[in-house]
Structure formats: C-alpha cells, structure tokens
Amino acid sequence: MLSRALILASAALLGGAQSAAQLTQEIKQAEHDVPLLVEVLQLKPGMTVADVGAGFGANTIVLSRWIGPSGRVFATDIGANQLKVIRAAVDREMLTNVTVVEGAAAATNLPDACCDAIFMRDVYHHIGDTTAFDKSLLASLKPGGRLAVIDFLPRPGSKVPQGVDANRGGHGITPALVVSEVSASGLTHVRTLERWPPDSTDTDPFFLVLFRRP
C-alpha cells in the first residue's frame, strides 16, 4: 500500500481532505485492479508498460512496484496538475523505474516501439482525433504488444465531451465503437470483457477491450 505520507503530500498538491480521501480510494482500487490487469496484458517483471492518461498516478505507482526495477512504467497525462502530482509521488517514493511524459490531445508522445503493453482507463471517450491517437498507440507498441482500453458505456441523456464526435451517443463510448476505431489503426481485436474488473458489482461498470499489435 502507498505510504500515508505520499497520500497526504499528494492531497496537499490537489488541495484538501477531500482529495486525500479520493486518492486513498484510487489507491485501494489500483491495488485490486493492477494484478488483474497484469494477467490480461500478460505482463512479466522487467517489461515496459504505459499508463496513458494516468491521472494522479495510483495505477502507475502500484504497477511500478510489480514490474520491478528492471522494468519501466511510462505515465502520461495532458493535465499540468496531474503531471505535477505524479512527479512528486515518483520522487517521494523513489520510483526509479517510472518516467513521466506530457501527453498530447492526438498523440501519446511515447517513444516508438517502446512498450510491451499500454492501458488507458477512463480516457478513450475523451479523445477527439481518434484516428491520429490510435496510430500513435500502434506506433508506441512493440510487435506483439497489447493495448487495453478501459471505459464505460454512454450515460443516458449525457452530453458528449467537448471536441468529441457525436457518434459517441453521450458521455462514454460503446465497446463496438472502440473496436471499430482502434482496429482501423492496424491493431487486432483480441477480446472484450463486458465488465471490468470482472468481479465488479457496479450497476454501471467499466468494460475492457483488448488489442494486440501484429
């Protein structure tokens, strides 16, 4: 589990007790989800994986400890505050295997063919230029590398995020649309998990769509 000092310091950057409670919950969820994600992505210690749209870094930090000192975790985000929080956490926890990268709206900004696996949680439905972004995901993966897109169905009556195509049908995205768009980049659809994590009891759960670079 992440240290209380890290949670409090990160909450201070975010501003307040509510943020500390949020981070504690995110860390608890990450400690549950990461081992399941490791299995789906077929990760092994020493591999390189990217957390694209890492937010405040809970999954990144939990995964960095699993992947080990011989591996690497890239954490990307486009938010200045998110990047600041992640960098502070990485420094405080002395996570020498984590590299923080400022992402872009239409690109991962990761090195070419750097990753054995990439995952995106609660991110894909916000992307406007999916054609460019999906090509960037393809370029960032090694041959045989895996991509997991974790997202949720459009909420009834919700508005499509600004800059996103109206075909989303609301705030969210369908697995079928994820498959269609990402497959067009050259990645191969492996399978879709309608509920993520598989043991989730949420009435409005995430789903996971898995792809592989040929």
CATH of the domain at 140: 3.40.50.150
Reported as a pLDDT band with limits 50, 70 and 90, residue 8 is very low
- Degrees (nearest 5) of the Cα angle 124, 111, 207? 20
110-154 pLDDT, tens digit each: 999 999 999 999 999 999 999 999 999 999 999 999 999 999 999
Q: Is residue 191 situated within a structural domain?
A: yes
Quote the CA–CA distance of 207 and 177 in Å, as a whole number. Answer: 13
Assess if residue 149 is contained within a domain.
yes
Look at residue 123 and tell me if it is in a domain.
yes
pLDDT in tens, 14-50: 654 445 566 678 888 999 999 999 999 999 999 999 9
**Does any domain span residue 134?**
yes
> Residue 89's pLDDT is what?
87
Which pair of tokens denotes residue 87?
């960098």
List the alpha helices (DSSP H) in the chain. 4-14, 17-41, 58-67, 80-93, 130-140, 175-183
pLDDT of residue 110: 98
Residue 197 placed within a domain: yes
Number of independent structural domains in the chain: 1
Q: Cα-flanking dihedrals φ and ψ of residue 207, to 5°? A: -120, 165
> Range of 186's domain?
26-212
User: Is 112 inside any structural domain?
Assistant: yes
Residue 9, in any domain of the structure: no
Report yes or no on 10 lying in a domain. Answer: no
